[in-house]
Amino acid sequence: MIEALQFLVAEPRPNSFDVDDTSSERAAPPRPETAALPLDLRGLRKSFGDNDVLRGIDLHIPAGQFVTIVGRSGCGKSTLLRLIAGLEAPSAGQIGFGEDKLPGDVRVMFQEPRLLPWARVLANVEIGLGTERSSPDAKARAEAAMIEVGLDDKRGQWPAVLSGGQKQRVALARALVSRPRVLAFDEPLGALDALTRIAMQRLLEDVWRDQGFTAILVTHDVAEAVALADRVLVIEDGRIAKDLLIDLPRPRQRGSAELAALEGEILRDLLKGSEDAFEL
Amino acid sequence: MSLVETLARPRTWRLPQADGLIQWIVPLVIVVVWQAASSFGLVPARVLPAPSDVVVAGWKLLQSGDLVRNIWVSFWRASVGFAIGGSIGFAFGLANGLSGLSARLSDTTLQMVRNIPHLALIPLVILWFGIDEQAKLFLVALGVFFPIYLNTLHGIRTVDPQLIEMGRIYGMSNLELFRRVIFPGALPSVFVGVRFALGIMWLTLIVAETIAASSGLGYMAMQAREFMQIDVVVLSILIYALLGKLADSASRLLERLTLSWHPAFQKA
Ligand SMILES: Nc1ncnc2c1ncn2[C@@H]1O[C@H](COP(=O)(O)OP(=O)(O)O)[C@@H](O)[C@H]1O
Ligand SMILES: [Mg+2]
């Protein structure tokens, strides 16, 4: 772990946590003090032509919170995430990060890994360093990120030979290597098989706990949403229809009665008022 | 073309050595049958000379230096014409693939010109250039231009937009985006164009040298026809085939080297 986190020391950020603290490994470590950024969405709207996708989102996300977003297909989850990542401009309203963010501060991960097929795995991870990718320690930082996602032995491979789950882990390493302070995920596990999904959920939770960024995860899997989240948001008709805090200890027991109850509550909410054909 | 073929072909286990040799079995059988047919008088030498006669004719021309000189002239015309037409086609493909303005300006015009068979220009080209070198270079360059232009353009336009967005997210400059994402993404398609262009290059050169030249393989064949040297005619045809095959192999090799990341080119 110490080795894995060495690149964190290379470039200290204000408030960055003490690396020695993380040696306590996975078993319920104290939440590290983070350099995460809070998010403030004010009156956020987005329309495509006369399709009003987001109709006024007001939301404060404290630094370091793990938020999951669920909602019917086409309700604007991806749009919201793209606005947060700065890939689209809002039609109205604004997004604040508490302070001025730097280029590597907000990262996104998509359902498709989006790796360059013609670059080796390590070179793909180095891309994540953004404008710092030509710095002398770029390679070391990329290698550290590979260790973090448990793919150290694949650094010299072509992406084409990796499995779907491994490709997503490379994409995660690429997103992590710049030490983002906000990490947005758009159904990153949507294309994976059930077992790989569970392994990846654990990995996401682990890196989030290690690095303490603010995590915003869009998912169509309500069980995944309640298992990972500090807070679940349900989006409906372009607004936040439900905002549910989940205050259960981590790591959470899959299939526990509390999680199942929460999942049922959210599912009922999603189903309510939309009896006719819909997909989650 | 090869990439498409390679992609379509299921990957099967095979002996690497046998693979190199196996392709020569059919040509070898043809030569043997041909020689036998000539030797037993089944095919009159007037129609088709025996392979051995062709070899003898080749040897004589080799000794007189004519063969090497003519091959060299044709090879030079092919390469220079290819280089000129290929680089202009590549440049237009890049410009029109990357810039909407450039595409709006020139693409329609180029698509119209494309529909003129370039060999139809031969009379015009002879009026312009006589039978000078420029005439042959012009025709080869023109023939090579379109496959390279079209495939470069297609390659750039079909680069995965998600990869381009990824490059932008991670702060790549335009130049870097081109060098790391767009160009490598377009390369397989560019190679398809190169291999089409090589075929057109030889075809154009043969026709041009046959009609309007005073040196080169095509000219050698036409001269031989006038003197009823059918063995030299056949020799020229075989040399064209060989040069075509060489050019194709060279482009395949280049493809394999530059596309080693591609699943179709990865060895098990
Ligand atoms: N770039 C775009 N141009 C036009 N319409 C879009 C665009 N992006 C998304 N939309 C529309 O916005 C709506 C929400 O899309 P999206 O955010 O992808 O939904 P979700 O991720 O929740 O399934 C859809 O109706 C979609 O058609
Ligand atoms: Mg979506």
Pairing of strands A51-61, A182-186: unpaired
- Residue A26 tokens read as 């996975």
The pLDDT, as a whole number, for residue A274 is 60
Category of A158 on φ-ψ map: left (φ > 0), alpha (ψ -120 to 50) or beta: beta
B227 lies in which domain range? 50-265
Tell whether B41 is covered by a domain.
no
* Per-residue pLDDT at A105 exceeds 70: yes
CA-to-CA separations, A203 to A5, A102, B244, B252, in angstroms, rounded:
15, 26, 55, 43
CB count, 10 Å around CB of B60?
Answer: 14
* Per-residue pLDDT at B216 exceeds 60: yes
Gyration radius from chain B CA atoms: 22
* Per-residue pLDDT at A28 exceeds 50: no
pLDDT-derived band at B94 (thresholds 50, 70, 90) equals very high
User: Residue range A21-48: average pLDDT?
Assistant: 68
* Per-residue pLDDT at B6 exceeds 90: no
Average pLDDT score, chain A: 86
Asked if B170's CB is within 8 angstroms of A114's CB, the reply is: no
* Per-residue pLDDT at A1 exceeds 60: no
Question: What's the CA dihedral at B167, B168, B174, B179 to 10 degrees?
Answer: 0
The pLDDT, as a whole number, for residue B12 is 53
* Per-residue pLDDT at B268 exceeds 80: no
pLDDT-derived band at A269 (thresholds 50, 70, 90) equals confident
B165 close contact with A: CB closer than 8 A: yes
* Per-residue pLDDT at B238 exceeds 50: yes
Tell whether B238 is covered by a domain.
yes
Tell whether B26 is covered by a domain.
no
Task: Tell me how far apart the alpha carbons of residues B1 and B193 are, in angstroms, rounded to a whole number.
Answer: 8
CA-to-CA separations, A13 to A9, A138, A216, B198, B210, in angstroms, rounded:
9, 17, 21, 57, 74
The torsion angles phi and psi of A39, rounded to 5 degrees, stand at -120, 140
CA of A219 to the centre of ligand 2 (A): 8
Answer with the residue of higher pLDDT: A116 or B4.
Answer: A116
Asked if A160's CB is within 8 angstroms of B162's CB, the reply is: no
Question: Is the distance from CB of A128 to CB of A177 less than 8 angstroms?
Answer: yes
User: A241: exposed, middle or buried (C-beta count within 10 Å: 0-12, 13-18, 19+)?
Assistant: middle
The pLDDT, as a whole number, for residue A251 is 84
The answer for B 170-189 residues in CB contact with A (under 8 A) is 170-172, 180-181, 184-185
Is the pTM value of this prediction over 0.90? Answer: no
**pLDDT tens profile B139-183:** 999 999 999 999 999 999 999 999 999 999 999 999 999 999 999
pLDDT-derived band at B267 (thresholds 50, 70, 90) equals low
The pLDDT, as a whole number, for residue B46 is 84
CA-to-CA separations, B161 to A173, B99, B158, B167, B185, in angstroms, rounded:
21, 15, 8, 10, 11
Task: Tell me how far apart the alpha carbons of residues B109 and B89 are, in angstroms, rounded to a whole number.
Answer: 14
Tell whether B34 is covered by a domain.
no
Tell whether B207 is covered by a domain.
yes
Flag the least confident range among A26-30, B176-180, B239-243: A26-30
* Nearest atom (ligand 1) to Cα of A77: 22
Asked if A160's CB is within 8 angstroms of B266's CB, the reply is: yes
Question: Is the distance from CB of A43 to CB of A240 less than 8 angstroms?
Answer: no
Number of alpha carbons in the 13 Å side-chain half-sphere of residue B95: 15
The torsion angles phi and psi of A246, rounded to 5 degrees, stand at -120, 105
Question: Is the distance from CB of B117 to CB of B141 less than 8 angstroms?
Answer: no
The pLDDT, as a whole number, for residue A275 is 56
CATH number of the domain within which B257 lies: 1.10.3720.10
Asked if B261's CB is within 8 angstroms of A160's CB, the reply is: yes
The pLDDT, as a whole number, for residue A22 is 39
User: Residue range B101-124: average pLDDT?
Assistant: 91
Tell whether B2 is covered by a domain.
no
pLDDT-derived band at B211 (thresholds 50, 70, 90) equals confident
Which CATH number does A53-101+181-273 carry? 3.40.50.300
* Per-residue pLDDT at A27 exceeds 50: no
**pLDDT tens profile A126-166:** 999 998 888 899 999 999 999 999 999 999 999 999 999 99
A10 close contact with B: CB closer than 8 A: no
Tell whether B251 is covered by a domain.
yes
User: Residue range B92-97: average pLDDT?
Assistant: 95
**pLDDT tens profile A50-89:** 999 999 999 999 999 999 999 999 999 999 999 999 999 9
The pLDDT, as a whole number, for residue B210 is 87
A160 close contact with B: CB closer than 8 A: yes
The pLDDT, as a whole number, for residue A271 is 85
Answer with the residue of higher pLDDT: A2 or A225.
Answer: A225
Chain centre distance of CA B135? 19
Tell whether B17 is covered by a domain.
no
Question: Is the distance from CB of B204 to CB of B119 less than 8 angstroms?
Answer: yes
Strand partners, A231: A67, A245
* Per-residue pLDDT at A5 exceeds 50: no
The torsion angles phi and psi of A93, rounded to 5 degrees, stand at 85, 180
pLDDT-derived band at A6 (thresholds 50, 70, 90) equals very low
Answer with the residue of higher pLDDT: A17 or A224.
Answer: A224
The pLDDT, as a whole number, for residue A175 is 96
List of chain B residues whose C-beta atoms are within 8 Å of the C-beta of residue A131: 171
Flag the least confident range among A98-102, B112-116, B171-175, B238-242: A98-102
Pick A108's closest partner by Cβ from B169, B184, B185: B169
Instruction: Give the SS3 label for residue B151.
Output: helix
Give the residue from A102, A110, A127, A174 with the most B CB atoms within 10 Å of its CB, the best one to mutate.
A127
Residue with CA at minimum distance from ligand 1 atom 18: A78
The pLDDT, as a whole number, for residue B17 is 59
Residue B71 contacts by C-beta under 8 Å, 6 or more apart in sequence?
A: B217, B239, B243
The pLDDT, as a whole number, for residue A23 is 38
**pLDDT tens profile B191-201:** 999 999 999 99
Asked if B262's CB is within 8 angstroms of A112's CB, the reply is: no
**pLDDT tens profile A202-215:** 999 999 999 999 99
Residue with CA at minimum distance from ligand 1 atom 9: A79
* E-state strands within B105-234: none
Question: Is the distance from CB of B212 to CB of B126 less than 8 angstroms?
Answer: yes
* Per-residue pLDDT at B257 exceeds 60: yes
Identify the top-confidence range among A32-41, A262-271, B43-52, B85-94. Answer: B85-94
Which chain A residue is nearest to residue B161, measuring alpha carbons? A114
**pLDDT tens profile A160-191:** 999 999 999 999 999 999 999 999 999 999 88
The pLDDT, as a whole number, for residue A231 is 96
The pLDDT, as a whole number, for residue B201 is 94
Task: Tell me how far apart the alpha carbons of residues A41 and A30 are, in angstroms, rounded to a whole number.
Answer: 29
User: A248: exposed, middle or buried (C-beta count within 10 Å: 0-12, 13-18, 19+)?
Assistant: middle
Number of domains comprising chain B: 1
The pLDDT, as a whole number, for residue A170 is 97
Average pLDDT score, chain B: 89
pLDDT exceeding 90 applies to what percent of chain A? 74
Question: Is the distance from CB of A175 to CB of A143 less than 8 angstroms?
Answer: no
- Residue A41 tokens read as 């969405």
**pLDDT tens profile B121-138:** 989 998 998 888 899 999
Three-state secondary structure of chain A: CCCCCHHHHHCCCCCCCCHHHHHHCCCCCCCCCCCCCCEEEEEEEEEECCEEEEEEEEEEECCCCEEEEEECCCCCHHHHHHHHCCCCCCCEEEEECCCCCCCCCEEEECCCCCCCCCCCHHHHHHHCCHHHHHCCCHHHHHHHHHHHCCCHHHCCCCHHHCCHHHHHHHHHHHHHCCCCCEEEEECCCCCCCHHHHHHHHHHHHHHHHHHCCEEEEECCCHHHHHHHCCEEEEEECCEEEEEEECCCCCCCCCCCHHHHHHHHHHHHHHHCCCCCCCCC
The pLDDT, as a whole number, for residue A123 is 96
